[in-house]
A and B are shown apart, each in its own frame.
Chain A
Amino acid sequence: MHIVDGALSNPVVIGGAVAAAGGIALGLRALPLDRIPAAGVLSASFFVTSLIHVPVGPSSVHLILNGLAGLILGWAAFPALFVGLLLQAVFFGFGGLTVLGVNTVNIALAAVIVGLLFRPLILRGGPVGAAIWGGIGGACATALTTLFVALSLMFSGDEFLAVAHLVFVAHLPIMVIEGLLTGFAVLLARKVKPDLFLSMKDVQA
């Protein structure tokens, strides 16, 4: 999912950086001071869970879970996922430096959209209904991210058209798995600690 340096055209890179800065600013504004520890710990847990390898047939995939991040963090998912991408780029060399903005938008914007659309549905009704909506949200987040990646490649040049198609098709099974895992994660969270999806909203003592 990470795009590397040198592949994208300048307008896409600059547009991505500006959009990422805007999203991070909005996310930080939505983050009250005493919610920073919660956002930080959750950001760290998304960092760790994104490294879990899940088997798919003979191969394995690693998770993005940006849908779940959006459902739990809302707008705060933007800075939280940015922090994760920054650490991955700096300490592991995943992704790149100038494309950090584009990568952040591709992953975090999908998270925020899914969070805004599906969080109300998850808070309504029973845990099973919430899990189904969560699963759809998780799959949608991966689909949106893949779509954004494909669009950033396509806007950079026609030569990437084939790659963009391939990226989308290759991620179809990952969408299913992301959906399943997000659904089950929501099911457990709704049963054990329903407040999780309100953690960025109300201020608990």
Chain B
Amino acid sequence: MTHILSNTSAALPGDGPRRGPGPIAALDPRVRILSAVAYGVFVVALDSLIALSAALALSLTLLALSRLPPGKTLKRVAMVDGFILFMLALLPFTVPGDPIFTLWGYPASWQGLARAIQIGLTANAVVLALITLVGTMEPVTLGHALYRLKAPETLVHLLMFTIRYVEVLRQEYLRLRAAMKVRGFRPGTNWHSYRSFGYLVGMMMVRAIERSERLLGAMKCRGFSGRIVLLQEFRCTRADALFALVLAGALALLLTLELTLR
């Protein structure tokens, strides 16, 4: 996860160079959010390995359409898989069924292996679709789209402030870390390191609250009355309808696979 806090890349997309317009970037953000949610709920409900493999193929197609860098995106998804690998590796030993082999006296079952593959396929298919459909948006657009989808206004404001300040605070964090490094701080497993990290976190919070006080003062000075007007409007076009139709067709196909090839 360190790459997010590296000096080179931004914490959230949107500050870097803009991506080229792909077919997915041209769609209405609201349609993209709703599609991702519908797709996620649908794929989680699938059980058959063939249908889930088809879902993963569909997600990969979306990735190809989204113009995200495929290598980098897949590497990121694979990194997340690393976290769940140990959980999946245990499943063959904990699900009872027909044994494949025995490891230190514990039998591994086919059923357990199937369950592990099932979870792995589902997780990857949904996350890939989410990253390609919603993750390719500007973070601010995500906020506006959620607002147009009737998300609570306060929550959207909270989201917008968070998006705005993640990068600012990341820079502050990197400055503080640089200051620690200049003074010879090398993190290790010792009391001094943990105390320094604790003070670093505390300082981040203190600076955050003081920043927010200045921010509120500046907003009040400009007549802030507790409401931020979100002006961005979206329009559903024929392309959106087409995309929704194709996606619905693909989901129907997945359902057919699920029901016929068990």
Contact = CB atoms under 8 A, between A and B. Distances in A.
B51 interface: no
A159 B94 contact: yes
A162 B116 CA distance: 14
A48 B170 contact: yes
Nearest to A135: B198
Contacts, number: 265
Interface in A159-205: 159-163, 166-167, 177, 180-189, 192-193, 195-196, 199, 204
A43 B115 CA distance: 36
Given A33-B226, A79-B155, A183-B198, A91 B12 contact: yes
Interface residues of B, number: 90
B119 interface: yes
Contacts of B162: 40-41, 43-44, 47, 80, 83-84, 87
A186 B202 contact: yes
A196 B126 CA distance: 39
Interface stretch (B80-88, B233-241, B254-262): B80-88
B76 A93 contact: yes
Contacts of B213: 38, 204
Contacts of B157: 36, 40
Given A5-B127, A48-B204, A96-B123, A187 B198 contact: yes
A13 interface: yes
A42 B121 CA distance: 35
A166 B88 CA distance: 12
Given A159-B94, A163-B94, A89 B130 contact: yes
Describe A's contact surface by its main secondary structure.
helix
Nearest to B44: A98
A19 to B, nearest CB: 16
Contact of A180 (B45, B90, B194, B215): B194
Interface in A23-69: 24-25, 28, 31, 33-34, 36-45, 47-49, 51-57, 62-63, 65, 68
Interface in A92-134: 92-94, 96-98
A10 B122 CA distance: 14
Nearest to A25: B152
A4 interface: yes
B166 interface: yes
12 contacts: A4-B80, A4-B84, A4-B119, A34-B224, A40-B157, A43-B161, A52-B200, A83-B155, A84-B162, A91-B131, A92-B1, A181-B197
Interface of A: 2, 4-7, 10, 13, 24-25, 28, 31, 33-34, 36-45, 47-49, 51-57, 62-63, 65, 68, 72, 79-80, 82-84, 86-87, 89-94, 96-98, 158-163, 166-167, 177, 180-189, 192-193, 195-196, 199, 204
